[in-house]
Structures are given as C-alpha cells and as structure tokens.
Amino acid sequence: MDCIKLTDIRCYGYTGYLPEEQVLGQWFEVDLTLWLDLRAAGKSDAIEDTLDYRKVISTTKNIVKNSKFALIERLAEAIAEAILEFAEVEKIQVCMTKPAAPIPDFGGKITVEILREK
C-alpha cells in the first residue's frame, strides 16, 4: 500500500486535562501518515486521481482548533475518524504532540501515536 506523509501540521487548540488548557489553549503538532492507492495518480499526473491533502490539513486544523477534549488521545482519535471519511484513505497513523506540557520539572514533549483503518 502506498502512503502520503504530512508532517509538522502546527495548530493552536484547547484540548487539555487542566481547566486553563481549555481556556488559554496551546500549540499542538500533528504528523499524519495516510495509506492509499496512488497508482492512478502516478500514471495520470492528475490531482483528481489522488487525495487532495490540502483538505486533510484543513480538516486536521479545524478539529484541533474547535475541539475541547480532556485528552490528546481523544483529539488524535477525532482526527483519525474524520480523515478515514475520505474515500481514498484506507488507513491512518496520527502522531499528536503537545510540545509544552504543563507538568512541573518536565521540559519534554508528550506524543500520542495511534493507527486506525477502515
């Protein structure tokens, strides 16, 4: 199966366990791997024969911006569910990163990675 990778989709959103995260918001980083058949596009060189990934990026950004979940696991699941609605996409991997987690004495990132398919 072929794949398209979309990386470093940076979005501001309001998902987080702490109340202030849902009020003040924070940045998220999303990486997507989409499995689909790219043979037709590879032969035709026509955008109508492939997935318009501009729509995937827009859908992802809208979900992050407009959702208020407690967990990034739920946010990643919402993205996977929405992108699997695209007819061309058979399987998706969502890597959702919270670059600045509000955890004392922790300067790292938190990343959730899920894999879903139709």
| Surface-to-core class of residue 80, CB atoms within 10 Å of its CB (0-12 exposed, 13-18 middle, 19+ buried) | buried
The full length of the chain comes to: 118
Helices (H), 11-68: 19-24, 39-44, 53-66
Which listed residue (55, 61, 68, 98) is catalytic?
A: 98
Tell me whether residue 118 is one of the annotated catalytic residues. no
CA–CA gap between residue 69 and residue 97 (Å, rounded)? 15
CA–CA gap between residue 97 and residue 110 (Å, rounded)? 6
Q: Which residues are catalytic?
A: 98
